């Protein structure tokens, strides 16, 4: 069940890169709907993508700094030794699984489900969900807190300022159709 800070999720790079998805995931974590985890590898990939998108070094440091400040216990340590012993369709994803194993996560939140076979993950007591399914289930288990988190996201959004319905449209454009539709019914 996804309903408390005791529920731990490793967030793959592909769900923290789109700002709209990252913001909603982070507000949900901030409000104790789950505990986020990530690794140095995940942050390295995130930084690499920001550089490819011509984000300034100053802005990259600021974004990474905010996340580390907001979630000081989220960085998984000492997972690297597990990487070589893991087998996934894409070898470059082994670090995500290694971090999840090391931190005793419940779920890997990724939009690349094909790279995390259900049968293999289950041998480690893990499963993978895409961001839309994960967020929708989280809302379902605690709708009041989820709506409050979403409203905080909207109130704190800048560049540009958007209302709730405009933010919902942004979520839909980023593949969070079920999440946005569910939140829409609750606000």
Half-sphere exposure of 80 (CA within 13 A, CB side): 6
Q: Which tens digits make up the pLDDT trace of 2-39?
A: 445 578 999 999 999 888 899 999 999 999 999 999 99
pLDDT lower than 50: segments of the chain: 1-3
Give the separation between CA 21 and CA 120, rounded to whole angstroms.
Answer: 27
The answer to pTM > 0.85 is yes
Give the separation between CA 1 and CA 101, rounded to whole angstroms.
Answer: 18
Q: Which tens digits make up the pLDDT trace of 140-156?
A: 989 999 999 999 999 88
CATH 3.30.420.10 at 8-131, yes or no: no
* Confidence at residue 161, expressed as pLDDT on a 0 to 100 scale: 81
Map out the domains of the chain as residue ranges. Answer: 8-131
Give the separation between CA 57 and CA 183, rounded to whole angstroms.
Answer: 34
Peptide bond preceding 160 in cis form (omega within 30 of 0): yes
DSSP for residue 79? -
* Confidence at residue 136, expressed as pLDDT on a 0 to 100 scale: 96
CB atoms within 10 A of CB 177: 14
* Confidence at residue 2, expressed as pLDDT on a 0 to 100 scale: 46
CB 1 within 8 A of CB 43: no
* Confidence at residue 1, expressed as pLDDT on a 0 to 100 scale: 42
């Amino acid at each position: 069940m996804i309903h408390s800070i005791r529920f731990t999720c490793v967030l793959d790079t592909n769900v923290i890169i789109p700002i709209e998805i990252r913001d909603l995931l982070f507000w949900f974590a901030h409000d104790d709907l789950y505990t986020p985890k990530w690794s140095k590898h995940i942050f390295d990939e995130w930084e690499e993508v920001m550089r490819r998108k011509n984000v300034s070094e100053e802005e990259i440091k600021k974004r990474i700094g905010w996340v580390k400040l907001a979630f000081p216990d989220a960085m998984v340590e000492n997972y690297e030794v597990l990487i070589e012993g893991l087998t996934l369709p894409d070898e470059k994803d082994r670090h995500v699984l290694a971090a999840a194993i090391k931190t005793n996560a419940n779920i890997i939140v990724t939009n690349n489900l094909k790279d995390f076979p259900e049968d293999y993950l289950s041998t480690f007591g893990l499963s993978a969900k895409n961001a839309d399914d994960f967020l929708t289930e989280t809302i379902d288990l605690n709708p009041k807190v989820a709506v409050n988190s979403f409203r905080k996201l909207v109130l704190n959004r800048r560049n540009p300022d958007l209302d709730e319905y405009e933010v919902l449209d942004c979520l839909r454009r980023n593949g969070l159709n079920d999440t946005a539709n569910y939140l829409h019914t609750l606000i």
